[in-house]
Structure 1
């Protein structure tokens, strides 16, 4: 084997077998347990890319989640603040309409207490009440009910104010009312009163009147429910007919419908129920299917669906205006209050889509990078095993680094195809498999085969140089196929001769039998090729083959600039001398003659009975050698 072959083997060992080192300092073979145990665990590049992109995407997703959670919290806070402002506006509007009536009552009560108004002076009292009524337009009536069961009353009647004196002796329950006012000692909002003249219930505040420690009676201040409804509906918070005030859970005290439909009020049922005012949304406020709202602040809230549209109810209980708590609130479409939430949800979906797109993009990038790398790895695996038939050039890549690697691989394949012309591929594979110790000089029992073409010199004289080269190439192609089929190694070509051996570098116990089978195959191949030549009108070719077995030194032989893996020993010369003996045994009818030594004959244990040629003194030797003819 040439120096080129040795360098090529070392090149393969370094590239494809990372544990291998240069000659002389090599350790265990590539497949040894020592190297395998020290080799780092490998990870597919697609897995590495997936992990890398996964970490990046996870960081992006975490940042997105944090941003969305922060946005969600801010959105909920904003929506809660909005809902609180809505209810605060309605409550403030309600108090703005009712509290002045109470304040006016306290002011008048102070005038009675200080003696500025004498309830016995009916004319002065009525005049003072009229003036007070004019200052507070939402008050429907002011009345002083004295302990002597006389009532001094001023009330609105359209644009006019009517003053009346009413005898209350026939009115039941006054004693109880007086006692409650006396014990309270301050203005108290009482239960609703029905007004036959106005045909509607009245919200009223009752204020005890005192002078110099004496209880004088009650100041009654009333506000109509219809006026309260108009005031609420005209406010910014109730302009879309969504504001309401409920007495208890089922009776409507204020609503836009009550401001324009006085027929909804009835003496036997002063306040209509939520299902009776024609507002289907409000009628569903206590629907058991209602869901909770997460962004309504501290107010109570719930969601209902009416005719396919979702509405949010936001409400709050306010005590003090009646013997039952008032429920003040508003409903509005969910789209109005949840617009910020929906924008956040849209951002969340958009972020999720972006993350999924990033995952898909990462997968595609990993696939785009991993696929050519995988092709390159598979192709280099073929080179590692010297399967140059499968090692074909690869298409380039759009990725610069990968394209450079592929270019280098393609150049390597081209070079290796040139190398395999000069280097025995099978020999290199065997040396790589056995490790560097395979090239050390060792003594080994081998079988050597020599071939020679009969009268090649005269044949070559009739051919041009190129035809002679073509002839030899075809001839050696036949011979090489037979040698390699039996696991032999072609050592060299010498003119028209071929030298091959068995038993190294791979240990072959049946090396002689292999050599004999290869020689028989060569003889058969020559006979077959001669039939072709005769058909073409060409002269037949004749060949002599000599085979001998014995010990030899096997390994690297030569100077540093030119080293061959070859065999050295008398067995080589003996094989060549036996091939020369074939000249004496060959007749004109023989196309191939195969002679073997008695050592080969005994080792091969061939089933056939070879013909003994006899004992011969080989050229350059003194002792006799038994020679047998296989063909």
Structure 2
């Protein structure tokens, strides 16, 4: 019996092996763990769903507000800008003298439908845009229908730009903004711009996301001036309601509940951004809605409300789909367990190579970056190809953006260094003398080679002294010192760069003469002045550059070189401002005779004459630094 019991135990031990038990336990552990993870994921996704709804409320409402402000602010900006011009003009009896200014302003600003000047006696003259886009002049008394495009608010000479009440003319709704016209401190008239609200209606329809959402704009608390689903409220005969219309007259039950509903409390981020999310519940079997609104003031006597409302069931469907995807995710997780190990192991091998290549990019050493090979894993291959495309783009960009400037901006921070500001800088302007005759016997390729070699010489001299190459203009170059990184000796560094250019140019010319080529003669202007430096351009195309009258003077100095020394190989002319700054920045120590005064001259575009100095380009650049005692300038 004992043996039999032992045998049965042995048989039971053979059936329930440790491998099977551990496998079952591990499977249960993995299953329970993944179920917990999936449950947490579903919970987190639900929170994320409502968080995204929170963000959607802010983004959607702000987008509508931004479109509204962009449309209307163009009109207020136009009248404010024109006010400074009109305040200096006589208005009594001469309103039509302003026709050119009004016409140009309306033509340049497509959002303006009318621009009108009224004197204090009520006489008005303006320009309006007809439905076919033509611009026509009109007088308030002669064409009263066009005068209905605007309404003058009560204003004083000190009043800011003021939006009047909305007006309707020819079934079109207009907003209008007025500024006072002042002369000698006294109010002499009004300048008014009228803007059609039809554009806001088109904007509402563009932002509408489909059958479950509606975009609207309400003015003065109860007047609907834009609605993306007007067709849903058409009369039995099919006539669409004409705006503006009250909420009650429109019959939009969701908007009717807007004033009586309370904001939801779990949308703190939206509330902090000024957006109210409300649950528009219905008691009569109608659908429930969720609204997102924002109140905007400043465009008329009352406040405006912009927003959007959704059918609440459309959001609950998203939640149900979330649970359905959880079931699919449960199956996918078990499949992913086995594949993830292989995929992770394969995915981690390329990371070290990407990291190594990225380090070269961080150092802007694009020449050391190697092209990443193709990979059989699609995601990794896409990353590799995107990385290669990024490197190609950076290399191409580095061809057009000076590497020294790019490094300076990256070191100082683009947000701070590239912002346009007014600063004292020193800049040089170069030009090749008689380049047209020099290149007339050259092919296009040969001309490009000559310019490329010449610009390489200039750029090397500029960057050697820490300068920034702004641009190449034909056969000339503009460079400056003191930005984006500030330096106290910018004038001295620019002077050394000029002398470096002269020395290098003489060597190149000597080599060219030995090889039977032609020598290049160059004029250089050097000036120190206050300019605007930073990003200048359009939204999608910026240029880090300098702008100001001082730059023009620098170019004038360069051009003046043809009169001072028309046959010299190199002529460097500097303003007295630059020379004095060189003296100050060198501590009063400069090589004797390094600058020669050539006289006082008056340049085109400037009312005052300036003293012009010629830098001696035979002085070694390193001598333009503290090396002696006293400053000797030949007079």
Q: Say yes or no: TM over 0.5.
A: no
TM-score by length of 2: 0.42
Q: TM-score, normalised by structure 1?
A: 0.42
The higher relative CO (CA closer than 8 Å, separation ≥ 6) is in: 1
Whichever of the two has the greater Rg, that structure is 1
